[in-house]
A and B are shown apart, each in its own frame.
Chain A
Amino acid sequence: MIESVKNPMPVNIVVAHGLEAKALVKMLELERHHVSSKFVEYSNSNKLHLLVSGIGKEAITAGVTYLSEQQASDSGEIRAWLNIGIAGHRDASLGSAWLGNKITDHSAGTNAYPPQLIEGVEVGSVVTVDEPENSYPLDAAYEMEASAFYAEATKYSTAEMVQVFKVISDNLKNPISEIDIRSVPGLIAAQAPQLLILIERMSAIASQHNFNQRLPSYFFEICSKIHLTVNQKLQLRRLCQRYKALGLEKELGCVAGPKASDARKLIQQLTERIDRIREA
């Protein structure tokens, strides 16, 4: 269903349960990872990644931490993070769904507000509880992972790129004790139009952000060849960005080719040259 999208999709989707993953695997044409991991994972060649974390706040925190560690790199690129899952609401109809614009952690009594950049998707409140909720006191989707997911994922990405999407699977008329869990993939599959908008839009924003932050390849060449202290790496990074912003990316190699061996001297030469060119 998502085959039209050939561009990179730097998006991590995290679900609590394998049944929530089932519809997404099909919808997004994902393949199972066979690397040994404590989590079940899927991905596709466009960098879209799906992880099944297990139920509850602790499990999802561990899943997010694990995935971010696997993906850590020097490039400064970010990924979008999306938690998709089922939830209960007192009177919303089964299968209705929304993006959380307010996430309340019931036991901690705290609120988080994922910034809303994406149009065309329903929005509403989400309450994360430690035990399944049967009475749904507030006008919100009750579930068990969102607050922990948001708190953890915002450590690795910007808040705008961390979102939760909840599909209603139970309500007062259809209590949680009577849910036929085999209906879960169908409920999520029915949300394909909203989910595809959401994933494609989050992906486009993250990709644009990464493009804006892209470093010239020279930076990586030098890093792989010369030992740089943390501070020197930061200085080199900024110099490479400045050359690029001033349209002088090609000049980088002229100042000192990747054969340069002294980091301090290299940084000094790059600084002097750019200041000279720009001031002239």
Chain B
Amino acid sequence: MFSTIYIEEEVLELERVRNLLDRFAQVPQVICGRYGEVFNRKSQNFRLQKMAPALILAKKYGNKVLAAPSGYGYNESKGYYFSHMLNCVYDCRYCFLQGMYSSANYVLFVNYEDFEEAIAEKIGENNGGGVYYSGYDCDSLALEPVSNFCSHFLSVFKRYPDAELEIRTKSTQVRSLLDTEVVPNCVIAMSFTTQEAAGQWEHKVPSIKKRLEALHKLQLAGWKVAIRFEPLILGAEGLAPYEALFEQIFSKLDAQRLHSVSSGLFRMPVDFHKRIVKLYPDEELFARPTQTTQGMIALKSTEENTHLMAIEELLLNYVSSEQYYRCA
């Protein structure tokens, strides 16, 4: 599962760390000072590291809860994100993480209690409310069997019923959720692209069918679930792949009970795009014409808005406009 486990000396004796090291005793373990000695060094190559990622167990200092970019969320409440982990076990070719870090190793910040404290403080500043996104720099659930992220953070949010936790994922690791009492202020938001896009770009990601089955189980168990259609990458095939995707999703899930549905176009900061192009000069997606607006790169298309509106029209056959929002 991991090529190596690096452990910051400072966290070596934490019980959470000792348990993990015992569990993965057969994996070579290397003690380091700070995780930055191993992670994101300048001569590293994300694409090569993806062949055999390592796990780094570290302590997060400094800002643990950050303001979410504007337009990220689904309502007017103030949005924040926190990342107990950097990087992802999946390998989506369109993922911005490839441009953000030069290393594909997974960093797991093990000082959950410090995150908990920072979240509680932020909730306090927001009179008990706010929306808290997990899964911005990682997939929150994909490494659940290793991180036990859910069991820890769900119990935190249980104490603050007016604050909302959104767990953004493409993972089917929902066992721990199904084994837990439903937390009404927690939303499991699953991302989907069309079958064609998933086949072409979402490497190692569970199939759409499997993800839907996981969501279906959660919905039946009473969990709030949401759908994120991101990133929309419009191709020559037109609307047909979206018709098929929506049909597949909404014939399995109870659309009316969905917490929210959103869409977001393919966008990324120019610098990230430049770095990704260097890693994947052979990737068709990054060879397409692009356009840049305010430091963000997008695929060049004169039809983009028309297409997006047509997709939204299709979508609104299944969900209400109150449930739907467009991600900036």
CA distance A159 to B41 in the complex (A): 9
Write out the residue numbers on chain A whose beta carbons fall within 8 Å of the beta carbon of B28: 101, 116, 123
Write out the residue numbers on chain B whose beta carbons fall within 8 Å of the beta carbon of A123: 4, 28
**Segment of A24-32, A192-200, A240-248 in the binding face:** A240-248
- Separation in Å of the B98 CB from the closest CB of chain A? 14
CA distance A158 to B280 in the complex (A): 15
Write out the residue numbers on chain A whose beta carbons fall within 8 Å of the beta carbon of B281: 212-213, 238, 241, 244-245
Closest A residue to B290 by beta carbon equals A275
Q: How many A-B residue pairs have CB under 8 A?
A: 94
Query: A160 touches which one: B32, B49, B277, B288 (CB < 8 A)?
Result: B49
B172 at the interface (CB under 8 A from A): no
B316 at the interface (CB under 8 A from A): no
CB atoms of B283 and A245 under 8 A apart? yes
CA distance A117 to B291 in the complex (A): 36
CB atoms of A242 and B51 under 8 A apart? no
CB atoms of B289 and A101 under 8 A apart? no
Write out the residue numbers on chain B whose beta carbons fall within 8 Å of the beta carbon of A246: 284, 287-288
Write out the residue numbers on chain A whose beta carbons fall within 8 Å of the beta carbon of B127: none
> From residue 238 to 280 of chain A, which have CB atoms closer than 8 A to chain B?
238, 241-247, 274-275, 278-279
Write out the residue numbers on chain B whose beta carbons fall within 8 Å of the beta carbon of A161: 48
CB atoms of B287 and A205 under 8 A apart? no
CA distance A102 to B28 in the complex (A): 11
Query: B6 touches which one: A113, A212, A244, A278 (CB < 8 A)?
Result: A113
Query: B282 touches which one: A117, A125, A238, A245 (CB < 8 A)?
Result: A245
B14 at the interface (CB under 8 A from A): no
Write out the residue numbers on chain A whose beta carbons fall within 8 Å of the beta carbon of B38: 113
B293 at the interface (CB under 8 A from A): no
A119 at the interface (CB under 8 A from B): yes
CB atoms of B33 and A245 under 8 A apart? no
Consensus secondary structure, chain B interface: loop
Residue-by-residue, is A111-128 near B (CB-CB < 8 Å gives 1, otherwise 0)? 101011111000101000
> From residue 3 to 50 of chain B, which have CB atoms closer than 8 A to chain A?
3-4, 6, 28, 30-33, 37-38, 41, 43-45, 47-49
CB atoms of A159 and B52 under 8 A apart? no
CA distance A241 to B284 in the complex (A): 10
B286 at the interface (CB under 8 A from A): yes
Residue-by-residue, is A136-157 near B (CB-CB < 8 Å gives 1, otherwise 0)? 0000000000000000001101
A209 at the interface (CB under 8 A from B): yes
CA distance A161 to B281 in the complex (A): 19
Write out the residue numbers on chain B whose beta carbons fall within 8 Å of the beta carbon of A241: 281-282, 287
- Separation in Å of the B37 CB from the closest CB of chain A? 6
CA distance A245 to B105 in the complex (A): 27
Write out the residue numbers on chain A whose beta carbons fall within 8 Å of the beta carbon of B30: 101-102, 113, 125
Write out the residue numbers on chain B whose beta carbons fall within 8 Å of the beta carbon of A159: 41, 43-45
CA distance A84 to B281 in the complex (A): 33
CB atoms of A101 and B4 under 8 A apart? yes
Given A101-B4, A154-B43, A213-B281, A115-B287 contact (CB < 8 Å): no
Query: A111 touches which one: B3, B37, B103, B289 (CB < 8 A)?
Result: B37
Write out the residue numbers on chain A whose beta carbons fall within 8 Å of the beta carbon of B65: none
CA distance A186 to B136 in the complex (A): 53
CB atoms of A160 and B37 under 8 A apart? no
CA distance A102 to B32 in the complex (A): 9
CB pairs A–B below 8 angstroms (22 shown): A101-B4, A101-B30, A113-B32, A115-B103, A116-B52, A117-B49, A117-B51, A117-B52, A123-B4, A154-B43, A159-B44, A160-B49, A209-B47, A212-B282, A241-B282, A241-B287, A245-B281, A245-B282, A274-B287, A274-B289, A278-B287, A279-B289
B positions within 8 Å CB-CB of A: 3-4, 6, 28, 30-33, 37-38, 41, 43-45, 47-49, 51-52, 54, 103, 105, 277, 280-284, 286-289, 300-302
The 4 A-B residue pairs with the shortest CB-CB distance in the complex, in nearest-first order: A245-B287, A242-B287, A241-B281, A158-B45
